[in-house]
């Protein structure tokens, strides 16, 4: 629901702040008073194209702020969340649009920058504007199927799931067919590649293992002679360790003769131990770096073949094992391709049949809903002086290529304005006044299913009066029990039905012309309706008639 509208420096409006409530509100005033400026200002906040000509002469920019009370469950809140906007539950939603005199504009939602596109998307969910030049909402055939589904309480969500299953099955089948076709085309290559890779039997991490083993053996070959010489110096009957042990045994007999000899013996024993440890380490290193020329050749050959195979298949050596499994699976699918394709074809056919059956059920429900909607709209036409017109909801099948998650039906509202005249789309054959009344008839018929929280009707009563104007007022009153309604009207019968009444007037102080809007109290309201009844000179008779209208 629109709760307030603040306008600054838009054409003839210098500063205007309006508060709104639920129910039916009427906006009246003499022709040229500026009612269109008010709607243009609201349109700016709802994402309408910004034009610098809207900026009041002498001002640098126009600013329009529209505030809405929106429940947390409203679809607009979900759209805002998807676009990263923070909107606290229970807090008002504030939309602001600024248009500069030198061109350009900017917008915000709850003080966060927003695009005009997002404003249009959110605005369409919050406010419906219906008038003689309406090009949205009920006039757009793209939305007619959704409106019919809401009216008939037709739930297309299960059909959407069936549609996705069908399309997924088709995708899987198409992929399998393409893969089989490619595999058959590459059968010879695939068979050779699988045989080659399987025979080689590459393992993950094998390259690193082989490279380390080859490096160790190559190092061992390079150091073999020096290590053997070192080992000869340490080991054997004439080696350093044997000589140390022999010297230690002889010194052991002499050590008691002098303290320094005992110290020498202790040092020699330590030397024997250290030399033995050095011998152990040397032997371990010799074992690790021992190399067999035949083994080295095998390792190098395996490593070169591994790397060459990886280059051939444009992958890494470590990925060869995974590639082998993948190509083996492709080859197996190719071998069993015929049976697999047949199974997928059966699954796809079953999924299509399930979708088609569900879509047929949905179409039947739409046909029934269309008949009920046609009857409901027909009941509203005569009181609106459209008794010669006929309305129908067309539900016709689409070609299979156009089937979708919402079904296989095209839905469009059509009218015939005169007996014998062909049916045609609403927007193509209705005159301005007729179009507004058709929209009202439709909105009344669809009212139980709701729509935007705020609806604005711009001069829906143009060209009618008396009983027809009263019928329009009565229907607007009914609609206002379901949603907030604002109506720009020249009809006293419609204005008298309103819960609140604003007067739009143009004032001139001798220098500047300004448009203002004022809320009317009971007395002022009676005077305005009397003016609408009698014209420039308000008579007592007009005042009395205005009072009678307000008593309804």
Instruction: Tell me the pairing of strands 484-488 and 454-458.
Output: parallel
Q: What is the pLDDT of residue 482?
A: 81
Q: What is the pLDDT of residue 450?
A: 53
Angle at 459 between CA 541 and CA 105, to 5 degrees: 135
Contact 342, 208 (CB under 8 A): no
DSSP state of 317: G
Contact 494, 487 (CB under 8 A): yes
The torsion angles phi and psi of 111, rounded to 5 degrees, stand at: 65, 15
d(CA 351, CA 551): 63
Residue 69, C-beta contacts closer than 8 angstroms, at least 6 positions apart: 1, 3, 92, 93
Contact 296, 218 (CB under 8 A): yes
d(CA 137, CA 451): 10
pTM reported for the whole predicted model: 0.58
Distances (CA, A) of 404 to 143, 159, 230, 357, 369: 15, 9, 85, 14, 20
Nearest to 107 by CA among 125, 120, 89: 120
Tokens 């005009």 correspond to what residue? 116
Q: What is the pLDDT of residue 289?
A: 67
d(CA 138, CA 153): 18
> Which tokens in the block code for residue 300?
């190098």
H/E element holding 451? none
CA dihedral 153, 440, 476, 550 (to 10 degrees): -160
Q: What is the pLDDT of residue 65?
A: 94
Contact 208, 229 (CB under 8 A): no
Nearest to 131 by CA among 427, 473, 386, 504: 427
The residues spanned by each domain of the chain are 187-335
Q: Which residues pair with 98 in a beta bridge?
A: 63, 106
Nearest to 411 by CA among 346, 366, 443, 361: 366
Contact 152, 445 (CB under 8 A): no
Q: What is the pLDDT of residue 135?
A: 44
Residue 311, C-beta contacts closer than 8 angstroms, at least 6 positions apart: none
Q: Give every residue of the chain whose pLDDT is below 50, as ranges.
A: 135-136
Per-position DSSP letters for 320-348, written without gaps between them: HHHHHHHHHHHHHHHHTHHHHHHHHHHHH
Q: What is the pLDDT of residue 296?
A: 83
For 70-77, which contacts have Cβ atoms below 8 Å and span 24 or more sequence positions? 70/1, 70/126, 70/453, 74/125, 74/453, 75/125, 76/122, 76/125, 76/126
């Amino acid at each position: 629901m629109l709760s307030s509208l603040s306008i600054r420096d838009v054409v003839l409006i210098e500063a205007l702040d309006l508060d709104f409530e639920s129910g039916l509100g009427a906006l009246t005033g003499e022709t040229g008073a500026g009612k269109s400026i008010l709607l243009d200002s609201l349109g700016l906040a709802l994402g309408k194209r910004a034009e610098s000509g809207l900026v009041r002469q002498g001002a640098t920019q126009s600013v329009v702020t529209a505030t809405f009370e929106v429940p947390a469950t409203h679809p607009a809140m979900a759209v805002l969340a998807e676009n990263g906007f923070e909107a606290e539950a229970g807090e008002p939603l504030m939309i602001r649009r600024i248009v500069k005199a030198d061109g350009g504009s900017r917008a915000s939602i709850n003080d966060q920058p927003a695009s005009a596109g997002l404003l249009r998307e959110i605005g369409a969910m919050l406010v419906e504007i219906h008038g003689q030049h309406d090009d949205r909402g009920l006039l757009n055939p793209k939305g007619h199927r959704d409106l019919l589904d809401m009216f008939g309480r037709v739930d297309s969500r299960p059909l959407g799931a069936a549609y996705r299953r069908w399309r997924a099955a088709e995708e899987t089948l198409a992929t399998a067919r393409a893969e089989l076709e490619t595999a058959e085309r590459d059968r010879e290559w695939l068979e050779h590649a699988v045989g080659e890779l399987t025979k080689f039997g590459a393992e993950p991490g094998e390259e690193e293992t082989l490279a380390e083993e080859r490096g160790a053996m190559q190092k061992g070959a390079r150091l073999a002679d020096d290590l053997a010489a070192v080992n000869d110096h340490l080991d054997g009957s004439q080696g350093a360790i044997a000589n140390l042990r022999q010297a230690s045994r002889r010194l052991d007999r002499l050590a008691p003769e002098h303290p320094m000899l005992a110290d020498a013996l202790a040092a020699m024993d330590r030397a024997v131990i250290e030399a033995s440890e050095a011998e152990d380490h040397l032997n371990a290193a010799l074992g690790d770096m021992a190399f067999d020329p035949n083994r080295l050749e095998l390792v190098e050959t395996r490593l070169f073949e591994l790397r060459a195979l990886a280059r051939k298949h444009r992958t890494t050596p470590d990925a060869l094992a995974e590639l082998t499994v993948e190509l083996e699976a492709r080859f197996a699918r190719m071998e069993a391709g015929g049976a697999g394709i047949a199974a997928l074809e059966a699954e796809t056919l079953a999924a299509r049949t399930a979708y088609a059956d569900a879509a047929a059920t949905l179409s039947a429900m739409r046909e029934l809903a269309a008949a009920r909607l046609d009857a409901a709209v027909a009941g509203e036409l005569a009181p609106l002086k459209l008794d010669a017109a006929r309305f129908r909801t067309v539900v016709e099948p689409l070609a299979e290529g156009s089937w979708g998650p919402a079904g296989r039906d095209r839905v469009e509202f059509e009218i015939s304005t005169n007996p014998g005249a062909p049916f045609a789309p609403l927007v193509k054959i209705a005159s301005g006044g007729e179009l507004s009344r058709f929209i009202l008839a439709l909105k009344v018929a669809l009212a139980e299913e709701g729509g935007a929280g705020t609806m604005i009707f711009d001069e829906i009563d143009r060209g009618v009066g008396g009983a027809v104007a009263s019928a329009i007022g009565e229907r607007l009153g009914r609609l206002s029990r379901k949603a907030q309604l604002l109506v720009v009207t020249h009809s006293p019968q419609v204005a008298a039905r309103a819960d609140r009444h604003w007067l739009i007037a143009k004032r001139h102080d001798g220098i500047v012309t300004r448009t203002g809007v004022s809320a009317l109290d009971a007395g002022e309201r009676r005077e305005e309706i009397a003016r609408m009844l009698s014209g420039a000179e308000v008579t007592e008779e007009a005042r009395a008639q205005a009072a009678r209208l307000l008593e309804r």
